[in-house]
Structure formats: C-alpha cells, structure tokens
Chains A and B, each alone.
Chain A
Amino acid sequence: MDHIDLFAMREQFNSQQILLCFNGPISRSLIEEIGNALRNYLAADSAPTSAAMDVFAVYIEMTQNISHYTRAKGWNEQEAGATVVVSRDEGGRYIVSAGNLIESADGENLVSSIARLAELDKAGLKAAYKEQLRRPRDAERPSGAGLGLIDIARKSSAPLQASLQPVANGRSFFSLRAVI
C-alpha cells in the first residue's frame, strides 16, 4: 500500500480552504466534540455571529440526520460512517458538506426532496418548515430527514446540492452540500 502523503493532503486542504474534515464512524459524543472544535475554528476565523450560528446549525442537522438514519437502520459502527467537510469558497462563504452510505431507494427519495426544496423561495421554505413542524412525529418519513433538511435549506444562501453515487449491495453514497 502507498504511504500516506500528508504534505499532498495538506496542500489540498489548504488550496480548498478546508477548515475541518472528518471521515469515519460517528457517534453522538463525536458529533458534539467536532461541533465544539468547529465553533472554535469559526471564532478564530472571525466569522460573523450569524454565519457561525448557521454553519454550526447546518453541521448539527446534517450529522444528526446521518446518525438517526444509521441508527434507524440498525447498522453497525463501520457502516455508520460519515464524511464531513467544512470549507470556504472563493467568495469567502462557508460550505458545509456531509455524506454517508444510504440505501439507494432512500437516497433517490432524498435527492428528489432536495430538488423540490431547491425550487422554493424563502417564504416557501418557511411555510414548508412550519408545515413539517406540525406533522406528528410518527408520521415522519423513515429517512427522518424532513425538518432538518428544510432547516438546512433555510440557512443556506444557495439551493442545496445533493448527489448519489452507487456503491454496492443496493447502497449508495449520498452527499449533500450547503452554502451558507
């Protein structure tokens, strides 16, 4: 196996302005610890309070969605991995991206829900949020991600981007990108 070229990784992280990245099994306490680190980085980065709040909120909703999903499926720790990256784009806007393995059918549903959210303006997103908030808990879709996704869309300054990459055994890698 090739050795890990840390220098090349560092160059790539720097050129893509990656503040924080994580890949691996994710637990409740790890979500909190990484979140704490993220808050510190944002403070050190002199992010405005609202932007820091939004980035943190989007990170929490994305990772907790992944955690809920893998728990609902009863997957083990190795299957329950998440890939999370917080970076900045050329314009200085924060980007929160997260990905995880998902059953392909669930992934297709998610991608189409996100496409529907992308068509809504601010008022439409707010109405969808309030409607979802009033929906009984047990009526939530098994993918769970209803309210969290709308919240992420509301905190984003551009439509969410989602993609699905087939892996094996009816599963795909789902990835979601939010520009704050």
Chain B
Amino acid sequence: MNDFSIPSSQSTPEVRSDWNAGQLHMAGDSYPENSFDLFQQVFDWIESYLDQAGAPLSLELRLLYLNTSSVKAMMDVFDLLEAAHQDGKQVAVNWYYDPQNERVAELAEEFKEDCTFNFNIISHP
C-alpha cells in the first residue's frame, strides 16, 4: 500500500518505496535547484511508514552527488530516522558506494556523524 516511485532524471535520483519490505530506495545524482518537491514525497512516505507500519525501516541508498540543497533535505530525512530511533523504532541506512569514488563515502560519513542509529556505509564495486 501507499507506494510510490519516481524515475531518475538528469538532476534527480530514482526513488522507489516498498512498504511491505520496509524499504525506501534512492539511487543516482541529486542536484535540482529546488529539492523541496522531490524530498517532500520521500519525507511524507517515511513519516507515514514510521507512524503506521509498526515494522523496521531501512533506507537503501546508492546516491552519488548531492548539491547543498539536497544535502539539507537528506539531513531532514536522517533527523526523522534519528527521532524514530530515539522512540525505540528500528531504522537503518545502508549506503552503497563504488570504492573508485571516495567522495560518496566522505559524504555518507559526514551524515553518519550526526546519527546514532544503524548507519552502514558499504563498499560495493
């Protein structure tokens, strides 16, 4: 129920939710001038999932480059997961990156610094 998917464009990632599996997938670059519309859908889905599903949630990320507007939006998403974690809910992030591209791992590391939930940065050639 309640699933959505957005195909990728040049400046926006592919996004796909899977309520039954408790997963949200995001892959690709994100550098739209205004990231609000895109991330609002992501945010809304996560909020209702955390509110209603009563099951673990994991974000499966294969994101590459994020502009600062997208970084800010992702921070809001991770803050939402952090609050759920503090509430005792089971949340996780799995961020896969190509070891050839160290910038992606650095980006993920900086987000991880502010999170106490299960945040995995996984080298995936």
Determine whether the beta carbon of A148 is less than 8 Å from that of B68. yes
B11: interface (CB < 8 Å): yes
* Chain B residues, CB < 8 A from A68: 33
Question: Chain A nearest CB: distance from B70 CB in Å?
Answer: 10
Cβ A49 vs Cβ B103 within 8 A: yes
The answer to whether B33 touches A147 (Cβ under 8 A) is: no
A31 interfacial contact with B, CB 8 Å? yes
Could you say which of A35, A36, A56, A151 contacts B68, with CB atoms under 8 Å apart? A151
* Cβ contact within 8 Å between B33 and A61: no
A137 to B75, CA, bound (A): 12
Taken together as a complex, chains A and B put the C-alpha atoms of A49 and B64 apart, in Å, by: 12
With both beta carbons as reference points, the residue of chain A lying nearest to B68 in the complex is identified as A147
The residues of B that contact A118 with a CB separation of less than 8 Å are none
- Asked if B117 CB lies within 8 Å of chain A CBs, one says no
Known: A32-B10, A151-B68. A60 touches B31 (CB 8 A): yes
Interface size class of A (residues with CB under 8 A): 20 to 34
Contacts of B116 in A (CB 8 A): none
User: For B71, B72, B114, which residue has the most chain A Cβ atoms within 10 angstroms?
Assistant: B72
| Contacting residues, chain A, for B52 (C-beta < 8 A) | none
Measured CA separation A28–B65 after assembly (Å): 17
Determine which residue in B33, B65, B75, B101 has the highest number of CB atoms from chain A within 10 A of its CB, and name it: B33
Q: Does residue B41 face the partner (Cβ distance < 8 Å to A)?
A: no
Q: Residue on A with the closest CB to B66?
A: A57
Q: CB-CB < 8 A to A137: which residues of B?
A: 72
8 Å CB interface, B53-73 against A = 65, 67-69, 71-72
Residues of chain B contacted by A35 (CB below 8 angstroms): 31
CB distance from A39 to the nearest CB of B (A): 10
Chain A interface residues toward B at CB < 8 A: 28, 31-32, 35-36, 49-50, 53-54, 56-57, 60-61, 64, 67-68, 126, 130, 133-134, 137, 147-148, 151
For this complex, 20 residue pairs linking A to B, each with C-beta atoms less than 8 Å apart, are: A31-B33, A32-B10, A35-B31, A49-B100, A49-B101, A49-B103, A50-B103, A53-B103, A64-B31, A67-B33, A126-B110, A133-B71, A133-B72, A133-B75, A147-B68, A147-B71, A147-B72, A148-B68, A151-B68, A151-B71
